[in-house]
Amino acid sequence: MKTVNVSLVGVGGQGIILTADILAKTAALAGLQVKKSEIHGMAQRGGSVSSQVRFGESVASPIIQDGTSDILVSFDKLEAVRNAHLLSKDGVAIVNDMYLVPVTVSSGQQKDVEGLDSRVREIGGLKLVDAMRIATEEVGNARTMNMVIAGALSAFTPFAEDLWHQAMAEMLSGPKAKLLEVNKKAFALGRAAIAR
């Protein structure tokens, strides 16, 4: 198989790194070579966070060049617009239908983004997922938003659902094991949201 490039972007505290770790673990469990990189920025202050995961038969570098992401996963609409340049021309953009107002805007240092929704709709291969609504209303736990997004992402990967579950179980072990079932529910709902 050819190497698959996945870029995950958002802001600190949304579970981007855990989602990328679960994707990387799933690919490794499938017997593929995996390389991963991440940039935290001012993560604790709601700053941009990105993680890149590459998997395939043989993966040389962890870095994804601009315009070569097969899948762009954005946890926020603004980050989707900011990072649209990463997506390949025939790639898929999975975008959480959510806008977190940047601190620079809420504090009056910058003007708010104009025409955000129309700019999001210009992104090629767009798949909007209302992950926060699904997490809060259907799962009953807002903190599972990232697993809703992971479920949506899973629909565009070659991996079986049980492999994803195995990776989740390994990543959510020890004291976090009690969170596994609710995260599996969120994952299933995210996967179903893409099928609709």
pLDDT attached to residue 114: 86
pLDDT at 143: 94
Tens of pLDDT along the chain (196 residues) come to 899 999 999 988 888 999 999 999 999 999 999 999 987 665 455 678 899 999 999 998 899 999 999 999 999 999 999 999 999 999 999 999 998 877 767 777 778 788 999 999 999 999 999 999 999 999 999 999 999 999 999 999 999 999 999 999 999 888 888 889 999 999 999 999 998 7
Residue 115 in tokens: 């025409």
For residue 46, what pLDDT is reported?
Answer: 64
Residue whose tokens read 């953009």? 93
Q: Strand 33-39 to strand 48-56: parallel, antiparallel, or no bridges (unpaired)? A: antiparallel
Domains and CATH numbers, the chain: 4-195 (3.40.920.10)
Query: Which two structure tokens, joined as six digits, stand for 106?
Result: 């809420």
Instruction: Kindly list the distances between the CA atom of residue 61 and the CA atoms of 27, 56, 57, in Å, as whole numbers in the listed order.
Output: 16, 11, 13
d(CA 77, CA 144): 18
Q: Where are the alpha helices (DSSP H) in 47-160?
A: 77-82, 103-106, 116-121, 131-133, 145-154
What single DSSP character describes residue 89? E
Q: What is the pTM of this model?
A: 0.93
The amino acid occupying position 183 is N
Distance (Å, rounded) from C-alpha 190 to C-alpha 66? Answer: 27
